[in-house]
Amino acid sequence: MHSNTALQQEWITLQNNIERYEHSALWLKLVAVVLTLGAGSLPPALAPALLLILWLQEGIFRTSQARLGERIVLIEQLLAAGEADAGKACQLHSQWLAQRPGWFGLLLEYAHSALRPTVAFPYPLLLVLGVLLRG
């Protein structure tokens, strides 16, 4: 397989996975909305705890999605430069392992992703709404 073809195939695969992460994140948000609307039938602490879990799970998804995005940018740079080295294709995990932070660094990455406005919305509002609906 010609290396540009391998890089192009990797780009397509990664882009499809990024879109899947996007859909998964939207489903998490939808579940959070439904959970908030039905929170009245749950024990008082359970709904907020579940909302926080969904929020953090989305942060983890978005962190993984961002890693794929970083790899896509590198592939685009290689393709634009006419890079023909077949050894550059299919290196997502090797590249990530070479720069992988420790467990504390991973937790910081997840928290940072969870606090981005596009991820955080609508979780804080749903937490407040859940309290108001119970009151």
d(CA 101, CA 69): 18
Per-residue confidence in pLDDT tens, the chain, 135 aa: 455 788 999 999 999 999 999 999 999 999 999 999 888 788 888 989 999 999 999 999 999 999 999 999 999 999 998 876 667 888 999 988 888 889 999 999 999 999 999 999 999 999 999 888 876
Tell me, what DSSP letter sits at residue 38?
T
pLDDT of residue 84: 64
Encode pLDDT of 65-77 as tens digits.
Answer: 999 999 999 999 9
This prediction's pTM: 0.86
